[in-house]
Structure 1
Amino acid sequence: MAHLNSRLLYLAVGVFFSGSALHKLMKNKVKIENASVSGLLSLLILGIFCFFVLSDTAGLTLLTLACTIYYYSIPVRDMLSAEGKSVLITGCDSGFGHALAKHLDKLGVHVFAGVLDKKGPGAEELKRVCSTHLCLIQLNITNCEEIRKAYKEISSYIQDAGLWGIVHNAGVLGYVADGELIPFSVYRQCMEVNFLGAVQVTQIFAPLLRKSKGRLVSISSMGGHVPLNGFAAYASSKAALSMFSAVMRQDLSKWGVKVAVVCPSGFRTNIFGSQNQVILDNVMPDVKEDYGEDYIENLKGLYHTLHKFGSSDLSPVMEDACHALLAQTPNFLYTPGRLAYLIPCLYYYFPQWISDWMGMQAFQISRNMLPRALRNNNKSIY
């Protein structure tokens, strides 16, 4: 009878907690990845441990305490008003930045849209479809003079109000290819745009953020957390950006500034391109001989594959970026997109060979061939 009563008590705690947590998750529209899957698994393991190892009193007390802590850790969707807030977004010529500028403008945010070309098609479209609250800013984030000029221009607009948010969105991909084949100039370009440019913008605009106790948001990438075949240059720069953001979250917390990183998994933007001839022109002769020109030419198939599987619906990224900017209690990490949360879990919590094998299969299937030297020797990459 006592054993039956303990089962009923554990069941009651489980049902009550599950119902309460589910209601809170649905009410606040919390995504499953942000609801801490690892936390749920930990509670399940803890429940089993409490039931079989601890006494009824100790087990139920510990489980109830853990469930209560988890319940109150679920983020509440309290959004701040967009009225009177100004946000600088870099890289608004196209892609995420372009879409986010439109989205925030509709919400009533005063958007400073940084573009490489104020007379380009992307900038012209923003002028045509957005309200007068949106202001185009000439901003090449690798040019310190342009950043300082943008700082003066924005400061004159906002006066003493401070800048509520900065969104580091400007980025370049370079090439998707074996790391040995990517020209060194591409590594440098990725670092200068994706990482060092963001650092420079942060340093120059930080006083305006501190004044408003605002938000610093970086659009990074899943490649910045998980190694992806073919993305050596891009992923390295995004990893640097993610770590910089993590450190700045700690550094700026004493000023009341909140920092967030958005790591999309796979979306269809014009960041992709194919310039295999540049690789052929820059690679060393012995490397070209080992890989083969046909292998390098076949790399363009990767771009078609990435476009095919990438989602054209950018709304998940827009929602997460807006939450990072306007939520009362934003998350530090957002992972919009298909498998965006599963891929890091696979990498961090499963044997290394599993994620390596899956990544290699994806890289190989899209080309269905090996470098010439390996084909001649009838060897596999592993």
Structure 2
Amino acid sequence: MQFLEDQRIEKLREKFLTYSAEFGKCLVDGIVQVSVNPCKDAEFKFNMMLLSIVNFIIVSYFRSSGSLLVSITLYLLLFFNLALKSRWLDPSGKVIFITNVDSGYGQELAKYLINRGAKVIAGASDPMASSLLQLREDGVYLIKFDISSDEKLNESMMRLRLRLSTWSKDLHGVVVNSGVDAFGDFEWSGVKYLKKITEINVWQIAELVKDLLELVRPQKSPCRIAFHSNHLVDLPEPGNLPLTLSKSALRCLVTALQSENRNSNVFFSSIYPGVFCYNNPCILSLENRDALQKNIMNQMSPQTKKILKSIYLEKRIQYCTSRFEGFNSLEPVLDYYFDALFSLEPELEYFPVDFQTRAHIWLRKICPSLSNKILNRNALKLLNYKKKKLQ
């Protein structure tokens, strides 16, 4: 009996050491990610700030050894949560489909995943384009993929199914990278233009997701579907109505999908990045920005243009385009995509944004009135600038 008891204790000890080593590795991975990713660092600092405020209130109010123990426990739970979030599946050999690599986001993500051992199928309007040569050399399999009409979408899905059947592989993840950027106030934007942006950013994607679900439902292995959104859905700043309108609708769609598929083998996530890669030709060049401005001017009626030009129009356009001045690297955003595709516990929403933006998003949730005052102040900056100039 004593021998059996010793064996049981030894097995428990081995399990404890194994789990401790795994936890330690995950914690180290999490700390490394925090140290090299400015957005994850912002998230960690923000959580630490909130926790420190809560602990200060608890300890100062109760002033007991028990409250101190609770405070320490909360900090340990924060690090435990960090370790849990750093557990990933091995990406080697897993198939990821990126719907569009014509833009810089898709191209950078494809290279990022290939470098980590994943097999990448990527959609493009012209798979043989010279701008995609490097992707082909890196091992990305390119297919012609277009979702602008039902007929083109059906043809595109047939190409995707053919490639998967050729490889005899299930689809591990999809990055829905299709969509367009846009900015402008309500008075600038024609209703037809708003409908066009929403059609591209919401309804075309909805059609695509229906076909994707038909593809992955029969699979035995789970599938993750990640969507590209924008942090402006939580901070409706002036001058961004077309994008905010469409991405807010997309958020409702993704949230509903996750709720409806809670017990299935399909997981949904949205990435809400801030601003990255200003003046990168693959993301948004100065020429593209100028084209957007010209498009805005063409949409306005002569009367609206005359009225707004006398008030704030030129400065407002500068304010709108100022959000294109951001980080010089996409690495923080790509890390979150990797997490959504390979984490053992993928989240519904990821916010690769700076500390100030994250704090404002949190403030908007707990105190909308104060957040509105800040947003109103930003909106009035241009008018105040105009008044000072006239004086």
TM-score, shorter chain, exceeding 0.5: yes
Shift of 1:312: 2.9
Shift of 1:276: 4.2
Indicate whether 1:171 and 2:179 are aligned: yes
Structure 1 residues 61, 294: CA separation in 2 closer, same or farther (over 3 Å shift)? closer
Shift of 1:277: 4.6
Q: Say how many residue pairs are matched.
A: 346
Indicate whether 1:343 and 2:360 are aligned: yes
Inter-partner Cα distance in structure 1 for 2:295 and 2:75: 56
Equivalent residue, structure 2, for 1:203: 210
Q: Percent identity?
A: 20
Structure 1: 5+ residue runs without aligned partners?
A: 1-19
The one-letter amino acid paired with 2:159 is: E
SS at match of 1:164: strand
Indicate whether 1:288 and 2:288 are aligned: no
- Structure 1 residue corresponding to 2:268, chosen from 259, 267, 282: 259
Q: How does 1:289-308 map to 2 (within 5 A)?
A: 289-292=306-309, 295-296=312-313, 300-302=317-319, 305-307=322-324
Q: How does 1:102-117 map to 2 (within 5 A)?
A: 102-117=111-126
Indicate whether 1:185 and 2:189 are aligned: no
Inter-partner Cα distance in structure 2 for 1:114 and 1:51: 57
The one-letter amino acid paired with 1:191 is: T
Map Cα deviations across residues 289-325 of structure 1 (whole Å, 9 max, x no partner). 3213795456553466344x22231111111111211
1:273/1:303 contact within 8 Å kept: no
Shift of 1:220: 0.6
SS at match of 2:171: coil
Inter-partner Cα distance in structure 2 for 1:332 and 1:173: 22
Inter-partner Cα distance in structure 2 for 1:55 and 1:337: 38
Indicate whether 1:118 and 2:137 are aligned: no
- Structure 2 residue corresponding to 1:220, chosen from 223, 229, 232: 229
Shift of 1:218: 0.9
- Structure 1 residue corresponding to 2:243, chosen from 234, 246, 250: 234
- Structure 2 residue corresponding to 1:140, chosen from 143, 146, 151: 146
SS at match of 1:274: helix
Indicate whether 1:315 and 2:303 are aligned: no
Equivalent residue, structure 1, for 2:156: 150
Equivalent residue, structure 2, for 1:3: none
Structure 1 residues 29, 118: CA separation in 2 closer, same or farther (over 3 Å shift)? closer
Equivalent residue, structure 2, for 1:355: 374
Shift of 1:358: 4.5
Inter-partner Cα distance in structure 2 for 1:81 and 1:323: 11
The one-letter amino acid paired with 1:329 is: E
Structure 1 residues 281, 46: CA separation in 2 closer, same or farther (over 3 Å shift)? closer
- Structure 2 residue corresponding to 1:85, chosen from 94, 117, 120: 94
Indicate whether 1:249 and 2:258 are aligned: yes
Inter-partner Cα distance in structure 1 for 2:381 and 2:273: 18
CA-based RMSD: 3.4
Indicate whether 1:29 and 2:45 are aligned: no
Q: Which moved more, 1:76-85 or 1:93-102?
A: 76-85
Inter-partner Cα distance in structure 2 for 1:166 and 1:187: 27
Map Cα deviations across residues 48-98 of structure 1 (whole Å, 9 max, x no partner). 3366348755x4675566555544333342222222211121231022112
The one-letter amino acid paired with 1:250 is: S
The one-letter amino acid paired with 2:122 is: A
Inter-partner Cα distance in structure 2 for 1:281 and 1:29: 45
Inter-partner Cα distance in structure 2 for 1:238 and 1:213: 26
1:183/1:279 contact within 8 Å kept: no
Equivalent residue, structure 1, for 2:291: 274
SS at match of 1:179: coil
Inter-partner Cα distance in structure 2 for 1:141 and 1:196: 10
More helix by share: 2
**Bigger RCO (CA 8 Å, 6+ sep):** 2
Inter-partner Cα distance in structure 2 for 1:225 and 1:25: 29
1:182/1:233 contact within 8 Å kept: yes
TM-score, with normalisation over the residues of structure 1? 0.77
Structure 1 residues 276, 47: CA separation in 2 closer, same or farther (over 3 Å shift)? closer
